[in-house]
Each structure stands twice: as C-alpha cells, then as structure tokens.
Structure 1
C-alpha cells in the first residue's frame, strides 16, 4: 500500500476547465456588446441580418455537438480540446476582420462549429481525471465559469470595445483562447498516470474512483445508449432547465427595462451570479452525497431540489406586477435561476456515469437537445407576453406571468423525470429490429432539434 499523500493536480485540471468556460462565454457575449459598432462598419448588417448572425452560431453549435463529442472520445481530450479551441479562436479573430454581412454569417457559423466541442471535450477530460465521487463538484466549478464569464463580460466587453475598438476586441479574445490552448497542450495528459506532476497515490485514487463505477458503463452501441430511457429523460430535463435559464441571457434585460425602466437593466446580471453560486452548491451536494454511499441520490436529489426551487421562483414571479418593487421580481427570478442551475452538475455527472469512455458523445447528445430548450424559450417568452392570458395569473396580455407559469410546470415535469433516472440501471442488448426503430428515433430527434433552431433563428417573424 502506498501511504504517500496524493497530489492535487486534478483540482488544477478543474481550474483550467473553469477558465475554459469563462473564455467560451466571453467570446459569445463579445458580439452582443459590439453589435452597434459592428453595424456602423459592416455593409448590409441591419437588425434582421444581425439576428441571423446570432442565430447561425446556434445552428453550427447544435449541428456539430455529436460529431465533436465522438471526436473527443476517439482522439482524446488533449488533442480534441486543443484543436477546437484553436479553431474557434481563429474564427473569433476573423470576426474582427469581416467587412460584409455574408462574410460575418460564414465566420459565425464556423465559430459555432468550433465551440461545439468545448463542453463534450471538457466532460471527457473530467471523466479521465476525476473519481466518480468528485464529478459533481468538478462539474459545478467547471460550468460556473460560463456564468461568471457571461456576467463579467457585460461589464468588461463594452469597456474594452471603447478602449481598443470592436475589431481588436475580437482579436484580444482570440489571443486569450490561443494562450489557453497552448497551456492545455503542454500541461494536460489524457492519462493522469502520464503526467509528471501526478504522483502514484493520486493515480490510484483516480483509477479506483473510476473503477468503482465501471460496472455501470455500457458497452452497447452508441445509438442504443442515447435512445435509452435514461438519456432521453436526461435530454428532456436539460432542455427544461434551459427554458428558464436562457431567459436570463436573452429576454430578462429587455423585460426589466420595459416594465421598470432603463435604470434597472443592470440587474439582469444578478441571476447569472446566483446561477454560478448554485453550481458550486449543487456540485458540493453531489460530491457529499456520493461520498456518503448514495451514488443514485447524489445525482437525483440535488436535481429534484433544483427544479422544485426553479418552479417556486417562477410561481413567485407570477405574483409580481409592474407596480411591485423590481427587487421583489429580481429576487424571485434569481431563485428560479438558482434552482435550474442546481441541475447542471448532476446532469453532466449523470452523463459521465452512464457514458464512461463515451461520456463526451453522450453529454453532447444531451447538450444538443438542450439547445432546443433554449430555442423554445426564445420563441415562447415574447409569444406568451403578447398573446397568452390565464385567469387570475395573467388576466390580460402584456406581462410574462403566463410564461412563468408554463416554465414552472415544465420544471415540475423535469423534477418527476429524475425519479425515473438511474445511472446504475443496466441496459440489455436490443434486437436488430429494435435498433432500427431506435436509429429512426434518434435521427428524427436530431432533425426536430435542427428544424426548431432553424425556425427560431430564420423562419420566425422577428417583428
């Protein structure tokens, strides 16, 4: 028995991946901050075309989720993440070099294609370096970088654009990505045993922690895994969380401004910060419960509590009117965001549990469908505000109360879905006929996601 204290290089890995997600959202938010300056310089970039530019990123991102996940699993996270970070950093820099709207469309599609590998590759890296009992906290810290990056960018990006111009701001963001990619290539190893700073005790801790869950990893075909009840339910609940969360980065600020005034627009950053805290809290809870010998409840309980808090927060939002203090509303919506963000750590840890060495591609499938939830929120929120009335809750149009009720009900359904999700459930091999049905279902699901995204971003009347 080796009694030497284990090194803690796996925690440095989590920190590097935290910076990775900060970088992804800084690159995404940059174009929103630069919108007005870009429209002054780029030929043909009116508001409608700018909407297409925003949307085409989502198309590229969703289309390449599963290919990027498969690539991460086969090539290994070291090579895969280095390549995808270089790709999206190049296209980030090229965003600052375009002079026509069509050129911008092409560049942002390729940017979305590159960023598709960000989360699947990182998830595969975490699987190789974290024992199962630490996956929840690792995922929580990792994902919190996106929320911190988004909130910080609301302040940093406008300041940087004023300082060096929008074109050089994209170049600066690209430079940050390239530096991260270089550090990742030099420092990371797909097998922690090959890392010079990882001692034998840490290797044993990691390998033992992975082996404890190895029995639950299925060796069945990928199509059967991603069309199993476990993964289909994971997809649904992840889309459900996005229906609430994406309001915080799309319609929340305009809703605050229209209802309470321009001076309160800055409060839209507060739910994002609450979401970052939720990811840490949930990640700790997942880790704590797993260490207490509750591998199933470590995933299920934090997620169910999160969706319950999300539903409560949204129902509280329905009780707020334009005459109510904006602080009451923002506290209620922050509670909802806190709740749905609590579900991320168990969701991605769940994909690692059942995906194992294919966790990159399994989590990519969940993330792809999650994008449909984001798209639904983009369509549903303004539609509900303008058209949907509900007795008592929203007797007249013009408020978001009907949407908040809708989202609360979806959260309740997602909470119930977790009652049927079990990362230790064993799958039996399906018959050839059943596999054909599963393949058709999987293809139909991908087509549905892409059609929803195309409609939202290109077919919907933007008014």
Structure 2
C-alpha cells in the first residue's frame, strides 16, 4: 500500500500495534523484575546471603524505582516517549545483564538499585504513549494491552526462569534477559514515531479517531496558556492526585509480594519443589493477564453503555481492590491449592485495578503532563513496593510464617478501596489556569 493510500479516509489500526509493542517492553520489564525473586532461593548459597540481606536486595529495586519516578516522568514529558522509553529499557537491561557477574551481596544490591533507576520510566512512558495514541473511550483497552504485557512477563518468568536455572544455573537467567531488553530498545528507537509522523502509515480516519474528544483538554491547555507539563508542586495541591497516590500505594503494597517473596513462600511454606514452582507458580500471573484484559474491556464497555467516567472508573477501582484483598484470606487456609486459588483471585484483582489507575493521568491532565503525573502517582505507590519486602521479611523472620504479612496486605487493600470510593473526586480534566496564574504571579 502506498503512503498516499494509507493516509486516505479508510481507517488504519496502528494504535493497537503500538500498544502491543509497549506490552512487549513491559513484559521484558517484569521478566527482569521477577528474575531475582525466582532465582534468589538458588543464589543464596553461592553468594552467602542472609534472610535480612534477601529482604534488602528485594527492596533495593523499589527504592530507586520510587525515587526516580518523578524525574523520569518529567524527562519523558520534556524529551518524549520515543527517546526516554528506549533509554529506560536500555539502562535496566544493562543492569540485568551485568547481574550475570554478581559475586557478592554488595554488587547484587548495587545492580538492583540500577535496575530500579532504569525501570522507573517504563510505565509513565507507556501511559503517555497510550494517551497520545488512543481516544479516551478506548484508553482503558489500550492500557490493558500494555499492562497485560507486565502480567505476561510475570507468568512467563516463573517457568522459563526455573527452566534456565535447571539447565544452566541462575547466572544465565540475567544474561539472556539483559540481551532481550537491549534488542527491544534498539527496535523502539528505530521504529516508534508519534501518530502524525508515523512514516505516513496512519490514515486520516485513524488520526481523527485518535484525536476524538480532546477538545476539553485543548481548551484548558489554552486557558492555562501553557502546553508544557504542569509542575509537580501544583499537581500535589489536587485532591485527585493524592487519592491516586494513596490508592496506588495500597495495591502496590500487596502486588509486590507476588514479585518478591511469592516463590519463597511456595518453596518454604507450601513445600513446592523446582518443578511445582515452575508449573503452579505461573497460575496467579496468568490470572493477572486475564484481569488486565478484563479491566480494559469492562471499563470501556461501561463507558459505551452510557456510564459516566467517574462512575466507571470508581466502580472498576473499588471492585478490583476488594478482589486484591483476597490475599489476606490465603493466610487462613490449610492447603496449598486453596492458598493458590485465593492468591490467583488477588493477582487478578490487582491487574484489574491497575489498568484503571493508569487511565487516570490521561483523564485528569493534558497529554503534556501525563508523564509527570504518572511518575508522581507511581513514586508514591512504589514506596509501598519498597516497604513490602522489608516488612514481609521482618515479619517472616520473627514469626517463621507468612500468615501475618498476608493478612496485613489484605487489610491495606481494603483501605485502598475506601480511598478510591471516598477520596477520589469526579473524574474530569483539572483546570490548572488559576494555579498557574498564581504561580506566575509569585515568581514575577
């Protein structure tokens, strides 16, 4: 097809291809995150790592990841998702690959910090990409596509990493994952463009579809006399931003268990060997893939049925958080099968929730600010991610069981449901014109 015919009135569907490429990047993201948790039970003997040091290693990623969220979001808004998404993947993949050479706690801890710095840009960049490529009424499905990549990465990671460990040892897990990410980054830099500059492939019909419903965003941007990112200090004055941050903190506190201590829980408390870990350990992540798809489909379906944006987003958030709280019930059941079922429901619920959470930046702010708002909410949420491995490790070490940490995670999820139900205001583009006027007057 010629470029001229591609840009005619017939509608192309390149936005879905872009979402799939983002999904692949996030799949690599979560494979790299999961590599340490699956490998850690088999690394401890080689590196002589204590339980306390294991907790520090598992949390190191989250601390640097959280600290870098706002800077990463700001860089994405300033330099664009093409440059920064590729740079993020390249940095974290380099740190993953170098883990092949880790020979001590200190080296491993440092590389985990580097991994967090690189991965900080992944979700804000994907959120900005989908905000740019999808109209609001399709944004939940677009978000579910790239978010499901993270869940696919988690599901694939456990059996594949267990297989690599069985064949060649834990070192090669990190070498293979690092090479895969670097190849993705090179491909992204070479191929990604914005809709209007996508090699003449995006039709006029698809461009019109992508820009559908952006009139209010354009009006408020013009009224605020800025097309640059809104400063973080102004975002933090808004109740919506605090509700997003606190609610995301709660779901991330729970979901981080699956990315860190879950394999150890199955091996130590439920008696799984390597084979069972590889087979049954992938069930909750598979359920999370379905949860991500359902989050996108349900959200867009409810909007299509005439539900308001506020009612749609709040319903999905609260229902998802309640389902995520099922992780707490796993503490009270006697069998591994029952615990695995409850955790599968919980992981499903977390993915269902997170799809809607990542729609909120595009719902509340213009595209120019999606990166920094996404980074801001992700910063606070990843404080929960950083705390979870330490808290779980401390409670596990003190009690010798995972019951209390799981119960605590369930309670935190119920708190998050209340935050989204009661604290999150009506979902609509925020008018920043008055805030920006005051800020400009103060600096005049």
Same-fold call, TM cutoff 0.5: yes
Residue of structure 2 equivalent to 1:262: 272
**Structure showing greater relative contact order (alpha-carbon pairs closer than 8 Å, 6 or more residues apart):** 2
SS class of match (1:340): helix
Uncovered stretches (5+) of structure 1, i.e. residues with no partner: 389-395, 436-463
Superposed, which structure 2 residues align to 1:120-159 within 5 Å? 120-159=124-163
Partner Cα distance (1:146, 1:10) in 2: 19
Alignment of 1:53 with 2:63, yes or no, is no
> Cα deviations across residues 370-420 of structure 1 (Å, max 9, x unaligned)?
1122234335556677889xxxxxxx9966674365235324423424653
Partner Cα distance (1:147, 1:107) in 2: 23
CA change 1:188–1:397 in 2 (3 A) is: closer
Aligned match for 1:301, one of 297, 315, 320 = 315
> What is the Cα deviation at residue 366 of structure 1?
0.7
Residue of structure 1 equivalent to 2:254: 244
Alignment check: 8 A CA contact 2:324 2:410 kept: no
> What is the Cα deviation at residue 36 of structure 1?
5.6
Alignment of 1:202 with 2:206, yes or no, is yes
Alignment of 1:173 with 2:163, yes or no, is no
Aligned match for 2:414, one of 403, 406, 409 = 409
Aligned match for 2:241, one of 222, 226, 231 = 231
CA change 1:333–1:161 in 2 (3 A) is: closer
> What is the Cα deviation at residue 259 of structure 1?
5.2
Alignment check: 8 A CA contact 1:127 1:352 kept: yes
> What is the Cα deviation at residue 207 of structure 1?
2.0
Alignment check: 8 A CA contact 1:226 1:362 kept: no
TM-score scaled by length of structure 2:
0.83
Aligned match for 2:337, one of 306, 323, 327 = 327
Alignment of 1:340 with 2:350, yes or no, is yes
Alignment check: 8 A CA contact 2:55 2:393 kept: no
What is the RMSD computed on CA atoms of the aligned residues? Answer: 3.4
Alignment check: 8 A CA contact 1:148 1:276 kept: yes
Alignment check: 8 A CA contact 1:78 1:184 kept: yes
CA change 1:84–1:426 in 2 (3 A) is: same
Alignment check: 8 A CA contact 1:243 1:374 kept: yes
Superposed, which structure 2 residues align to 1:56-71 within 5 Å? 56-71=60-75
Aligned match for 1:429, one of 430, 434, 437 = 434
> What is the Cα deviation at residue 92 of structure 1?
1.9
Partner Cα distance (2:267, 2:103) in 1: 32
Aligned match for 1:7, one of 12, 15, 19 = 12
CA change 1:417–1:364 in 2 (3 A) is: farther
Alignment of 1:362 with 2:367, yes or no, is no
* Farther off after superposition, 28-37 or 65-74: 28-37
SS class of match (2:234): helix
> Cα deviations across residues 225-274 of structure 1 (Å, max 9, x unaligned)?
23310110000111111232223333444445555433675544322221
Residue of structure 2 equivalent to 1:275: 288
CA change 1:260–1:39 in 2 (3 A) is: closer
> Cα deviations across residues 330-389 of structure 1 (Å, max 9, x unaligned)?
32332233223221111111112223211111111111111122234335556677889x
Superposed, which structure 2 residues align to 1:390-405 within 5 Å? 402-403=407-408
Partner Cα distance (1:170, 1:429) in 2: 50
Partner Cα distance (1:375, 1:246) in 2: 8
Partner Cα distance (1:349, 1:343) in 2: 10
TM-score scaled by length of structure 1:
0.80
Q: How many residues align?
A: 424
Alignment of 1:27 with 2:32, yes or no, is yes
Partner Cα distance (2:341, 2:209) in 1: 41
* Farther off after superposition, 217-226 or 187-196: 217-226
Alignment check: 8 A CA contact 1:77 1:125 kept: yes
> What is the Cα deviation at residue 153 of structure 1?
0.9
Alignment check: 8 A CA contact 2:140 2:299 kept: yes
